[in-house]
Structure 1
Amino acid sequence: MSTDTTSATGTPAARPPMRGLYFEEFEVGAEYKHAFTRTITEMDNVMFTSLTMNLAPLHLDEEYAKTTIHGRRVLNSLFTVALIGAFHVPELTMRTTLGNLGYEKIVFPHPVFHGDTLRGETTILDKRESRSRTDSGIVWFEHRGYNQDDVLILSCHRTGLMLKRPAGEPDPA
């Protein structure tokens, strides 16, 4: 890991690894506009669609796609979920998640096409202590994706198992 800080002795000081929020740090109703954006390429769509063995011509066959209501190929919707679902990681769940417990209410109100630039937002819907684990709690997220024209292209609810702050680690607040 590289460092960009210096200790009092003039030697590089080790920085703690980047992390997301611990369970205690999530506030119900908090909204986050994530800094990352990503322009979708043809390669993204073809590679993801091929790797997941989705043979739908709507994603792979330009001539076929011209005959559909969209008039061109549409990005594989599962790629959209994965990408928008990843924008929050550095800010909210890096090194503090124990995993996803479920996705629900996934909605695609507008198609995504090659060349679209996507961004994401997250709202914390709810949280509660785990009933079976003392080291974690459950957080409900709503992730939303928008294209370059601020058109909503994805909304989904996700439930995650989040670590509690380890004993002895100071509260940054």
Structure 2
Amino acid sequence: MAGLWFEQFSVGQRFVHEIRRTVIEADNMLFSALTYNPAALHIDHAYAATTEFGRPLVNSLFTLGLVIGLSVQDTTFGTTIANLGMTETTFPKPVFAGDTIRVETEVQALRPSSSRPGQGIVTFEHLGLNQRDEVVCRTLRAALMMGKPA
């Protein structure tokens, strides 16, 4: 199992995730279609050409999902019970088709669950960066994690 148990995390622990992913236009179009998001800024090249960006922006919720997904292999794969929420999520730079996203994660907080013995809550800060090392997404994610089996 690649994921870590609750007891294996420590505040300040950092992960530079090896897996990166290049976003393609189909990702954005499919995600927008699957989530019923008709925003012209994401799906209409002619409209997007008239904006300050000059081309479609990748849907920010796709970016958030990708950033968290790229962190899973090293941190929570097989040991997460549930995501409890994301807070302080920002998108300081846009993502476009052709951008390659990588992720860095830092453990911000830990606490044993008060209602679930043998489990704990880990708060992760995930940073998504593009190929120019610009932060394109930052989020704090609370995850309910399995404790190490006895």
- The two structures have a TM-score, normalised by structure 2, of 0.98
Question: Which residue of structure 1 lines up, in the alignment, with residue 15 of structure 2?
Answer: 32
- CA distance in 1: counterparts of 2:6 and 2:31, whole angstroms: 32
Question: Which residue of structure 1 lines up, in the alignment, with residue 123 of structure 2?
Answer: 140
Give % identity: 47
RMSD of aligned alpha carbons: 0.6
Partner SS state of residue 2, structure 2: coil
Question: Which residue of structure 1 lines up, in the alignment, with residue 98 of structure 2?
Answer: 115
In structure 1, runs of 5+ residues without a counterpart are 1-17, 168-173
Question: Which residue of structure 2 lines up, in the alignment, with residue 56 of structure 1?
Answer: 39
- CA distance in 2: counterparts of 1:159 and 1:70, whole angstroms: 33
- CA distance in 2: counterparts of 1:88 and 1:147, whole angstroms: 15
Q: What amino acid is aligned across from residue 59 of structure 1 in structure 2?
A: H
Question: Which residue of structure 2 lines up, in the alignment, with residue 87 of structure 1?
Answer: 70
Q: Name the count of aligned residue pairs.
A: 150
Question: Which residue of structure 2 lines up, in the alignment, with residue 163 of structure 1?
Answer: 146
Q: Structure 1 stretches (4+) deviating beyond 2 angstroms? A: none
Largest Rg, 1 or 2: 1
Q: What amino acid is aligned across from residue 99 of structure 1 in structure 2?
A: A
In structure 2, runs of 5+ residues without a counterpart are none
- The two structures have a TM-score, normalised by structure 1, of 0.85
Question: Which residue of structure 1 lines up, in the alignment, with residue 59 of structure 2?
Answer: 76
Partner SS state of residue 44, structure 1: helix
1:152 pairs, out of 135, 145, 150, with 135
Deviations 1:7-48 (A, max 9, x none): xxxxxxxxxxx2311000001001110001111101000000
Deviations 1:107-133 (A, max 9, x none): 000000010011001000000110001
Q: 1 or 2 for the larger relative contact order (CA 8 Å, sep ≥6)? A: 2
- CA distance in 2: counterparts of 1:64 and 1:145, whole angstroms: 27
Deviations 1:94-147 (A, max 9, x none): 111101011111100000001001100100000011000112001100000000
Deviations 1:37-67 (A, max 9, x none): 1111010000000000000000000010011
Deviations 1:69-117 (A, max 9, x none): 1111000000000000011111110111101011111100000001001
Question: Which residue of structure 1 lines up, in the alignment, with residue 107 of structure 2?
Answer: 124
